Chain A
Amino acid sequence: MMKSTLRRVTPQIVILALVLAANFLVFPGFFHVEFQHGRLFGNLIDVLNRGAPTALLATGMTLVIATRGIDLSVGAVMAIAGAVAASAVTGGAHWTLAVLMALAAGAACGLWNGLLVAIFRIQPIVATLVLMVAGRGIAQLLTEGAILTFNDPGLIRLGAGTIAAVPTPIWLWIAVACVTGLVIRRSALGLLIEAVGINQTSSRLAGINARVLLIAVYLVSGLCAALAGVIVAADIKGADANNAGLWMELDAILAVVIGGNSLLGGRFSITASLLGALIIQGVNALILLSGMPVEFNLVIKALIIIAILVIQSPRVRHSLYLLRASTGPVLRERPSRAAPRTRPEKGQS
C-alpha cells in the first residue's frame, strides 16, 4: 500500500524537488529555517503556510474531480465563509461559534452544489458556475459591501497564530488532509468514489448509492473551501468579499491536475494533489525570490505549468514508454509483426 502510493507520487515529488532546488539556486538561504519569538521562520515554512488555502481546496477538489465533476464555486465559497465568520465575531459571537457557522455555510453551499449535480443531474461545471457567479454577491450582502475587519484574537490565531511553533494553517491543512485521506482510504469510500467517477451508471447498478456519494463529495469540497476562507480572512483580519479566494478555484484545479489526477474522474490521489498545491506555491515562491520584475510572474508561472503538463501528457508518457520498451526486455519475446503501435485510434489521422 505504502509502496504503491510512493510510486504513484514519484513524478510529483521529483517536480517538487526540482522546484525547490531551483529556489535554492536563486536564493541560497531557501532551506534555512530558524526559531524566533516562539515560532519557526523560513522560506520553506512560508511555502507550507501560504500553500494552506490551495492545499485545503485541492483536498476537496480531488474528491470532486474523482467523481468526474468539478467545483468552480470554491473561491466564492471561501468569500462567503470568510464573510460569515467575520460578521459573526463582529456581532459578538465566540470565535469557535463563528468558525462553526462559517463551516456550516460552506456545507450548505456544498450541499446546494451536490443537490444540483446529483438530484437535478446538471453538468457539474454549469451547476457550480451558478454559485461561483452568485457567491460573491451573497458574501457582499453579508459584509454590506465593505471589507469587514475584526480583532478577535481567537479567530486571528487560525490564520496568523502558531501551534507548537508551527503556523496554524499548516496544522489545519495537514490535519484535514490526513483525516480525509484516512477516512477515504481506510474504508471503501475511496473505491466507491472512484467507481462513481469511472462509470456512474454501472456503479449504481453495482449497488453504490451514487447520489449520496456525489452530494457528500461536494459537501466535503464546500467544507474545505469554508475552512480555507476562514484562514484567509483570519490572516488579513478581515473579510474581503470581492477578493478573498479570487481565482483560487483555478489554482485548486491546477493542483489536482499537476498531481496527475485525470479530469475525467476515476483513480485519484489526495497526496499527489497536495504535492501539486505545494508545487504551485513553490513556483510562486521561486518567482518572488528570483527577483524578476513582478510583471513577469504570470508569464513564468504559465510557462512552468505548461512544462509540467507537457511532461505529464499522455502522449509524451506513451512515447517515453515506447522508448523504454524498445530497449528493455518487454519486446524481446514478441514476434516482430506485432510491433508496438501508437493507439489504433490515431492510425488514420
Chain B
Amino acid sequence: MSQSTKLPLYITLATFVLAFALCAVQFPAMLSTRVVANLLTDNAFLGITAVGMTFVILSGGIDLSVGSVIAFTGVFLAVILRDTSIHPLVAFALVLVITTGFGAAMGGIIHYLEMPPFIVTLAGMFLMRGLAYVLSTESVPITHEFYDWLQSLYWKAPGGGRFRLTGGLMLLTYALAMIVLHRTRFGQNVYAIGGSAQTAQLMGVPRARTTIGIYAVSGGLAGLAGIVYTLYTSAGYSLATVGVELDAIAAVVIGGDAPERWQRICRGHFLWHSDHGADTDVYRLRRHAFELVDEDRDRGPALRLHHAAEGFGLGNDGAHKASDRIRRAIMTLTAGGGFSDRAQSHTTHVVDQLGLAIVAGEYPERAMIPLDPDLEEMFGVSRTVIREAKKTLIAKGMLASKAKVGTRVQPSSEWNMFDPDVLRWHSEQKTPGRFVADLNEIRLIIEPSAAALVAERAGPAEHARLEASCEALAQAGSRTAFAMADLEFHKLILQLSDNRFLQSLGDLVQAALYSQLIAEAEEAREPGDLARSVEKHRAIVDAIRAGVPERARACMEKVVMDAPAGGVRRAG
C-alpha cells in the first residue's frame, strides 16, 4: 500500500530534482540564495493560497473564489488605508474576518443547501470580484509607514538573497497547515469527508462544521494571501490575480496524476531550454517556484495518506480501499460533492440508508415504511431502484411485503443477523444496545471451540502463521492498527479450524471489532491494556502449538470475554 501511494510523490520529487539539476548545470546562478529568496518572495501569496486550496481539495471540494478574494483584499486594504486613518494591523484583522466569514458562508451554502462547491464558489468568485470593482476600478497605491517598515524586514543570507517577511509567512502557514492536517481532529475530519462524506458522517464526523471550517480556512488564507500580495505590490487592484485559483488548484493537483507529471516534465524542459541565465525573468521564476511550491504541497498529502488510511482502519472495506479512495479524492477535483465516490450504485445507497434507519429504530418493528413514490422523492431515484432495494431488504429478513397492505418492518427476531450488511448496520449504530452483548455471546460460543479445533488440527505451517499474526499484533503501533491485526488473528483462527461453516463467520468478528473500535475511540484505553491483550492472544497460540485443545478453548474464552467490556461499559 505504502509503495503505491508514495510512487507519484517519488516520481514528482525526482522530476523536480532533475529539472532543478539540469537548470543548475546549465546556469550555475540558479543555485544562488538570491534566486531561492526571490522565488519565495514572488510566490508567497500563491503558496499561501495553495495551502488553503489543499484543505478544500482534500475534502473533495473546490474553491474557485480565491483569486477574487485576493483581489478584494488588496483593494479593500488600499481603499481603507487611503480613506481612513485606521492602523494597517486593524485593517488586516478586519479583512481576515471578512474573508474567513465569506468562506464560511460559502461552506454553509454548500452544506445546507446541498449545492455543488464548483457552482457556489463560482458565484463567490463573481461576488468578490464584483465587490472589488465596487470599491475601486483603479489601482490604488498603498503608502503607509507601517507598510514600508514591513517591507524593509528581511534577512540577508550569504550570497545576497533577501528572505523577506512574506516568504517566512508562507513557510509558517505551511507548517501550521501540516500540523492541523496531521495532528488535529479537524484535519482528520477533512480527510474523512474527502474519502467519503457519507462514511464520515456515519462515523460521527460533524459534517456541517467541518465543511464550513474547510471553506473558512480557504477564504481566510486567501485573505492572508491578499495581504501578502499587497506587501509585494504596494497596491490594491481589482483586476489583479485573475485566474490564481487555477494556479492554486494546479499547484495542489500536480504530482498526483500521470499527465500532470508529464506536463511538469515538459515544464522542466521548457525551463532548461529557455533559461538564459538571467534571474530576473519573472515568468520563468514563477514557473520554477511553482514547482517548489508544488513539491511542498505534494509531500504532505502523500505522507498523510498513510495516516488517514490507518484512521479509516476497520471501515467496511479495510485500509486498502480507504487509502485508494482518499487518493482518488485528492486527484479528483471533485465538484458537487462527488464526481468521485458517490458513484456507488443507487440501489446500494438506498439499501444502506433504509437498513441503517431500520436498525436505528427510526422505522420501528411492524411499522410501515413510506410508499414507493415518497421513497423515490426522498432518495431522488427511480421506482426500479426502490423496488430493487426493497427486495434486497426483504431477502435480509428486515422487511415483509404484502399485497394491498404495503411494506412493513419485520421484528428483529426475523432479521438475518449473519448477513454482512445487517452486521455492519448494527455496528455503525452510535448506541449499540443489546447488539454488542448478543454478538459477544455468539462469539463466546463459536470462537473457543474453533480454537480448540485448531489446536487439534494445526500442523507446523499453521503454527508459523499464527505466530506471525500474533507478532503483527504485538508490533501494532496504533489503536486502529491493533484492531486490524486483532481481526486478522481471529479470522485466521476461524480459517485454520478447517471447518467450512466456521470459516465463513469472519464477518461476525469484524463487526464486533468495528463497533468496539467506535466505542473506544471516545474513551481511549490505556497502553497497558493493549500489551495485556497481546499476552492473552499469545497464550492461545502457545496452547495451540502445544496441541492442548482445552487450554486453547479457555484462553480464547478469556480473550472474547475481554471484548464486551468496551461495549457493555458504554451501554451502561
**Which listed residue (B335, B342, B370) contacts A338, Cβ 8 A?**
B370
Instruction: Determine which residue in B119, B250, B257, B370 has the highest number of CB atoms from chain A within 10 A of its CB, and name it.
Output: B119
**Which listed residue (B126, B201, B335) contacts A349, Cβ 8 A?**
B201
Q: Which of A257-311 contact B (CB under 8 A)?
A: 257, 262-264, 294-303, 305-306, 309-310
- Assign chain A's interface to a size class: 35 or more
Q: Are A301 and B130 in contact (CB under 8 A)?
A: yes
Q: A116-B259, A130-B263, A340-B374 are in contact. Are A68 and B339 (CB under 8 A)?
A: yes
Determine if B160 is an interface residue (Cβ-Cβ < 8 Å). Answer: no
A348–B430 alpha-carbon span in the complex (Å): 10
Minimum CB–CB distance for A195 against chain B, Å: 13
A124–B259 alpha-carbon span in the complex (Å): 12
Determine if A341 is an interface residue (Cβ-Cβ < 8 Å). Answer: yes
Inter-chain contacts of A297 with B (CB < 8 A)? 130, 133
**Which listed residue (B250, B364, B380) contacts A314, Cβ 8 A?**
B380
Determine if B332 is an interface residue (Cβ-Cβ < 8 Å). Answer: yes
Q: Which of B351-397 contact A (CB under 8 A)?
A: 353-354, 356-357, 360, 362-364, 367-371, 373-374, 377-380
A124 — nearest CB in chain B belongs to which residue?
Answer: B339
Inter-chain contacts of B208 with A (CB < 8 A)? 349
Inter-chain contacts of B246 with A (CB < 8 A)? 129, 132-133
A318–B379 alpha-carbon span in the complex (Å): 10
A123–B57 alpha-carbon span in the complex (Å): 14
Interface of A is mostly: helix
Minimum CB–CB distance for A115 against chain B, Å: 11
**Which listed residue (B64, B198, B368, B379) contacts A337, Cβ 8 A?**
B368
Minimum CB–CB distance for A252 against chain B, Å: 11
A306–B133 alpha-carbon span in the complex (Å): 19
Q: A257-B119, A344-B362 are in contact. Are A302 and B336 (CB under 8 A)?
A: no
Q: Are A133 and B250 in contact (CB under 8 A)?
A: yes
Minimum CB–CB distance for A199 against chain B, Å: 6
Per-residue contact bits, chain B 236-252, to A (CB 8 Å; 1 contact, 0 not):
00000000001001100
Q: Are A263 and B113 in contact (CB under 8 A)?
A: no
Q: Are A123 and B367 in contact (CB under 8 A)?
A: no
A132–B245 alpha-carbon span in the complex (Å): 13
Q: Are A310 and B113 in contact (CB under 8 A)?
A: yes
**Which listed residue (B126, B207, B250) contacts A305, Cβ 8 A?**
B126
Minimum CB–CB distance for B268 against chain A, Å: 15
Q: Are A126 and B336 in contact (CB under 8 A)?
A: no
- Assign chain B's interface to a size class: 35 or more
Q: Which of A123-177 contact B (CB under 8 A)?
A: 123-127, 129-130, 132-133
Determine if A224 is an interface residue (Cβ-Cβ < 8 Å). Answer: no
Determine if B498 is an interface residue (Cβ-Cβ < 8 Å). Answer: no
A297–B118 alpha-carbon span in the complex (Å): 21
A228–B41 alpha-carbon span in the complex (Å): 40
A290–B448 alpha-carbon span in the complex (Å): 81
**Which listed residue (B113, B137, B257, B360) contacts A315, Cβ 8 A?**
B113
Q: Are A126 and B253 in contact (CB under 8 A)?
A: yes
A321–B376 alpha-carbon span in the complex (Å): 12
Instruction: Determine which residue in A125, A254, A262 has the highest number of CB atoms from chain B within 10 A of its CB, and name it.
Output: A125
Q: Are A302 and B116 in contact (CB under 8 A)?
A: no
Since A254-B122, A345-B353 are in contact, a sample of 6 more A-B pairs with Cβ atoms closer than 8 Å, ordered by chain A residue number, is A126-B333, A129-B250, A253-B122, A337-B364, A341-B362, A349-B208
Interface residues in chain B, defined as those with a beta carbon under 8 Å from any beta carbon in chain A: 64, 109, 112-116, 118-120, 122-124, 126-127, 129-131, 133-134, 137, 198, 201-202, 204, 206-208, 246, 249-250, 253, 257-260, 263, 331-333, 335-336, 338-339, 342-343, 345, 353-354, 356-357, 360, 362-364, 367-371, 373-374, 377-380, 430
